[in-house]
Homo-oligomer: A and B are copies of this chain.
Amino acid sequence: MLRATIDAEVFKEAVDAIAALVSECRLHISAEGMRTRAVDTANVAMVSLELAPAAFEVYEASERALGIDITKLKNIIGMMNRGEKLMLSIPADSQRLNLAFQSYQYSLTLLDPNTIRKDPNAPTLELPGQVVLDGAKLTNAIKAASVVSDKIALGIDPEAKVFFMEAEGDTDNIRLELGHEELHSLTEVKARSLFSLDYLKDMAKTMGRAERIEVSIGVDHPVRFTFEIAGGAGKVIYLLAPRIEAD
């Protein structure tokens, strides 16, 4: 059972964050809120999302795992306007998610959760490098790197006390260094790993709206991006595996 009302823009942000990586997901609803964790088909990136009841104006749910066609949901939410109310409901035992907004009634058949990949385990990671910065700064760097290459190195130089991003093309390269004055915080430990820009560009669309993003990195380790949505009532974690440096 689900009965919830939420600002369309807030729900859109949550759905977009998932849609950046997967086209369907297993959404767990319960009295504690909604959560999902999913890996992309290539097993390179993971998204984990939590939305507390506080993100909703009305929220009532009994425990259940829902199979959601994220792509369809994203299309339908694309029709709503900022500030509009969205009502979500699933009667007990129903196989349909109902969305009501304005005078529209939209009904989406739920997927069988057993046909969707099992929830991945969150890997245990030692990521000693921690940087907190504006989402816009991070996504601008990702865009800039895309102009010269298809991969980007993220790292921390503890001597120079900077968080750096670096991309190399055939005949050109770009480097961005952000010191303490341009960051919210920085732990000064050596870190550097290389990542595919394809994934980062998809994630960047959602991360660009976040006021603060926590970036956790190591040496040739995955990167973890953590940020809030829904005015703090929701949390998104992206995890991205590193690429092998080929030079």
Given A144-B79, A147-B76, decide whether A106 and B178 contact each other with a Cβ distance below 8 A. no
Whether A174 contacts B106 by the Cβ 8 Å rule is yes
Count of chain copies: 3
Whether B175 contacts A104 by the Cβ 8 Å rule is yes
Whether B107 contacts A172 by the Cβ 8 Å rule is yes
Which residues of chain B have C-beta atoms less than 8 A from A182's C-beta? Answer: 103
CA distance A105 to B148 in the complex (A): 12
Given A69-B171, A171-B69, decide whether A76 and B107 contact each other with a Cβ distance below 8 A. no
Which residues of chain B have C-beta atoms less than 8 A from A178's C-beta? Answer: 103
Q: Does chain B have a CB within 8 A of A72?
A: yes
Q: Does chain B have a CB within 8 A of A176?
A: yes
Whether B144 contacts A104 by the Cβ 8 Å rule is yes
Whether A105 contacts B172 by the Cβ 8 Å rule is no
Whether B174 contacts A105 by the Cβ 8 Å rule is yes
Whether A176 contacts B107 by the Cβ 8 Å rule is no
Which positions 165-220 of chain A face chain B at CB distance < 8 Å? 169, 171-178, 182
- Among A76, A104, A173, which residue has the most Cβ atoms of chain B within 10 A? A104
Residue in B75, B102, B103 whose CB lies within 8 Å of A147: B75
- Among A79, A109, A148, A172, which residue has the most Cβ atoms of chain B within 10 A? A172
Which residues of chain B have C-beta atoms less than 8 A from A144's C-beta? Answer: 76, 79, 104
Whether A174 contacts B76 by the Cβ 8 Å rule is yes
Which residues of chain B have C-beta atoms less than 8 A from A75's C-beta? Answer: 147
| A204 CB, min distance to chain B CBs, angstroms | 14
CA distance A148 to B147 in the complex (A): 36
Whether B69 contacts A107 by the Cβ 8 Å rule is no
Q: Does chain B have a CB within 8 A of A143?
A: yes
| A150 CB, min distance to chain B CBs, angstroms | 14
Residue in B79, B103, B173 whose CB lies within 8 Å of A143: B79
| A79 CB, min distance to chain B CBs, angstroms | 5
Which residues of chain B have C-beta atoms less than 8 A from A106's C-beta? Answer: 148, 172-175
CA distance A209 to B148 in the complex (A): 28
Closest 8 CB pairs of A and B: A109-B171, A105-B175, A108-B172, A106-B174, A75-B147, A104-B176, A79-B144, A107-B173
